[in-house]
Amino acid sequence: MNSKLDPWGSSNIDDYSKLFDEFGILPFDDIYNNVPEPSHYMRRKIIFGHRGYDRVTEAMAEGKPFAVMSGFMPSGMVHLGHKMVMEEIIWHQKMGGDAFVGIADREAHAVRGFSWDKCREIGVEQYILSLIALGFEPSGHIYFQSESDNVKDLAFELGVKANFSELSAIYGFNGQTNVAHMVSALTQSADILQPQLGEFSGPKPTVIPVGSDQDPHIRLTRGLANSMNMFRIEKREDLKGNPYMSIRSKAAPEGALQEVAKRMPWKTKVFEGHVDVFGVDDKQKLKEIARQAELDLGGYSFLPPASTYHRFMSGLQGGKMSSSIPDSVISLTEEPKKAAKKVKRAKTGGRMTLEEQKELGGEPTNCSVYELFMFHLIDDDKELEEIHSECVEGTRMCGHCKVYAAELMSDFLTEHQELREQARDKLDEYGL
Ligand code: SF4
C-alpha cells in the first residue's frame, strides 16, 4: 500500500487494518456499542474506523450539540459512492446533528480547471439534487466554498499556521503544484472547522464521514485546530510528585493568561507563557472555563474534528470503481434500464458451473452483486443474512440473484430520480 493516502489520486487501499497501525485510525468496533441506533453502514462494518468519534457518541447520547460535515468536489457524475457519504450525513442529521455540506468548487476550479459556472451547475445538478432527494433536511446548511465568507476567511487564517513543508509531507505537493491547489487544501480544513464558529453556536464535536483516502485532510485539520487555539492544557507533577494542571500558551494575546487565572476557582500561579492551577477536583470544569475565556478573548477554542472511515465498494466488474470505466460504476442519474443491464453484467462470486455452485456454494465476499445488496439495495439485515446463507450453501444461483439485484437497482433509481425532480422545486428552502 502506498504510505501516502492521496485524496486527489487513485489510492487502492486493500488492507484496511494497516491503517490502524500506520495512521492511528481506531477500530470502529471499539465504540460501536456507544452508538444509539447504528446506521446500516455501521451495523455491516462498512464503517470500519474512526478518529475521536467517542466525543460525538457522547454528545448524541446526552442530547448535546454536535455537527456533521462533508464536502463534494463538483467534478462529474454523482454515483453510489457519493450516496454513501450523503446517507451518513443524513443519518447524523436525523440523530440531532447540525449538518453541513460544502460544494468544493474552489478545489474543482484549482485542481480541474473548471469554470465557476460549470462548478455551480455540476454542484446543483449532480450532488445537491441527490442530497435533497435522499432526505437532507432544510435545517442543515448547503453552501459553495466560493460563496462562503466564513470559509474563505478561515482558510486564510489557517494559512498562517500551515507551511509548505507540512502540506507537501501530507499531499506530496512539489514545486510544480499551483498555489490555488494548496489554498484549496486549507479551504477544506476551513469547511471542516466552520461548524464550530460562533455563528453556528461555537465549539462542538464535529464528525466528518469519509473514505480512508481522505484521512490526510482530517490529520491536517486536527493539527490546525490545535494550533489555532490559544491554550493547551497539560497535567503535570511537582518535584514531590503532587499533580497540578498547567494552562500553556504561546500565542495568546497579552493579559489572556491573567484572565484565565482570574476565572479559576482554584489556587493559581501565573508565569510567563503558562499558568499553573493547583488542587483541581474537576478537570472538565477547568477545560470549560479555559474554553469560555478563550472565546471571550476572541479565540476559536476548536475541538479537534472527529472522523469515521468507510470501506469502498469495488467496481461492478471487480477491481476499482472508477468514473473513467463506465461499466464499473452506477450513477444516480443514470437511466434505470441501463443501470439494470450493468448489474446483470456484473462480476459475481459464483462458480464456473451450476454443479460446482451447488456443491461448493458461491463467494459473497468476492461478489460485486452482494456488495450492492449490502451497501445500497437491501435495508433488512435478515434478508441480507438469508442471501448470504443461501449463496454459501449453494442453493442460490447467480443468474436469478443478478436479476433480483437489477430489479432493486432499477426501482431505486426510478424513485430517486423522481425525488430529484421534486427536489429541484425545493432548492429555495435550502437557500440555493
Ligand atoms: Fe453473488 Fe448472488 Fe452469485 Fe452469491 S448467488 S455469488 S450473492 S450473485
Per-residue pLDDT of the chain (432 residues; tens, 9 = 90+): 333 444 433 334 456 667 777 778 999 999 999 999 999 999 999 999 999 999 999 999 999 999 999 999 998 899 999 999 999 999 999 999 999 999 999 999 998 999 999 999 999 999 999 999 999 999 999 999 999 999 999 999 999 999 999 888 888 888 898 899 989 889 999 999 999 999 999 999 999 999 888 888 899 999 999 999 999 999 999 999 999 999 998 778 889 999 999 999 999 999 999 999 999 989 889 999 999 999 999 999 999 999 999 988 888 988 777 777 888 899 999 999 999 999 999 999 999 999 999 999 999 989 999 999 999 999 999 999 999 999 999 999 999 999 999 999 999 999 999 999 999 999 999 998
Does any ligand 1 atom lie closer than 6 A to the CB of residue 349? yes
Is the separation of the CB atoms in 93 and 136 below 8 Å? yes
Does any ligand 1 atom lie closer than 6 A to the CB of residue 374? no
Please report, as a single letter, which amino acid is at residue 304.
Answer: P
CA distance 100 to 150: 13
CA distance 169 to 311: 24
CA distance 83 to 409: 13
* CATH match of 18-228+304-310 with 3.40.50.620: yes
Distance 383 CA to ligand 1 centre (A): 14
289-305 core/surface letters (b: 16 or more CB in 10 A; e: else): bbbebbeebebbbbbbb
Provide the pLDDT for residue 117: 95
Distance 91 CA to ligand 1 centre (A): 29
- How many beta carbons lie within 10 A of that of residue 286, not counting itself? 20
Provide the pLDDT for residue 203: 96
Mutate to test the pocket of ligand 1, among 370, 377, 386 (most ligand atoms within 8 A of CB): 370
Distance 364 CA to ligand 1 centre (A): 6
Does any ligand 1 atom lie closer than 6 A to the CB of residue 378? no
Ligand 1 atom, smallest distance to 367 CA: 1
Ligand 1 atom, smallest distance to 392 CA: 4
- Sorted by where each begins, the domain ranges of the chain are 18-228+304-310, 231-296, 326-430
Ligand 1 atom, smallest distance to 398 CA: 3
Residue 338 CB partners (closer than 8 Å, separation 6+): none
* Long-range pairs for 32-38: beta carbons < 8 A, 24 or more residues apart: 34/58, 34/61, 35/60, 36/60, 36/61, 36/95, 37/95
Give the torsion sign (CA, 307, 310, 315, 318): positive
Please report, as a single letter, which amino acid is at residue 75.
Answer: S
Distance 23 CA to ligand 1 centre (A): 34
* Distance linking the first and last C-alpha atoms of the chain: 41
Does any ligand 1 atom lie closer than 6 A to the CB of residue 299? no
Give the torsion sign (CA, 324, 327, 330, 334): positive
Protein residue whose Cα sits closest to atom 4 of ligand 1 = 391
CA distance 375 to 323: 18
Distance 50 CA to ligand 1 centre (A): 31
Does any ligand 1 atom lie closer than 6 A to the CB of residue 336? no
DSSP H stretches of helix in 13-67: 17-23, 29-32, 40-43, 54-62
Judge if pTM exceeds 0.85: yes
The CATH topology of domain 326-430 is Tyrosyl-Transfer RNA Synthetase (1.10.240)
Does any ligand 1 atom lie closer than 6 A to the CB of residue 384? no
Provide the pLDDT for residue 387: 94
Distance 253 CA to ligand 1 centre (A): 64
Provide the pLDDT for residue 14: 53
Does any ligand 1 atom lie closer than 6 A to the CB of residue 361? no
Does any ligand 1 atom lie closer than 6 A to the CB of residue 364? yes
Find the radius of gyration of the CA atoms of the chain. Answer: 24
Distance 221 CA to ligand 1 centre (A): 41
Protein residue whose Cα sits closest to atom 3 of ligand 1 = 398
Does any ligand 1 atom lie closer than 6 A to the CB of residue 155? no
Residue 370 CB partners (closer than 8 Å, separation 6+): 348, 349, 364, 387, 388, 391
Mutate to test the pocket of ligand 1, among 367, 378, 404 (most ligand atoms within 8 A of CB): 367
Does any ligand 1 atom lie closer than 6 A to the CB of residue 402? yes
CA distance 198 to 295: 9
Does any ligand 1 atom lie closer than 6 A to the CB of residue 369? yes
Distance 404 CA to ligand 1 centre (A): 11
Cα angle: 49, vertex 6, 207; to 5 degrees: 35
Locate 343 and state its grid cell.
448489474
Protein residue whose Cα sits closest to atom 6 of ligand 1 = 349
Does any ligand 1 atom lie closer than 6 A to the CB of residue 351? no
DSSP character at residue 213? G
Provide the pLDDT for residue 250: 72
Distance 371 CA to ligand 1 centre (A): 10
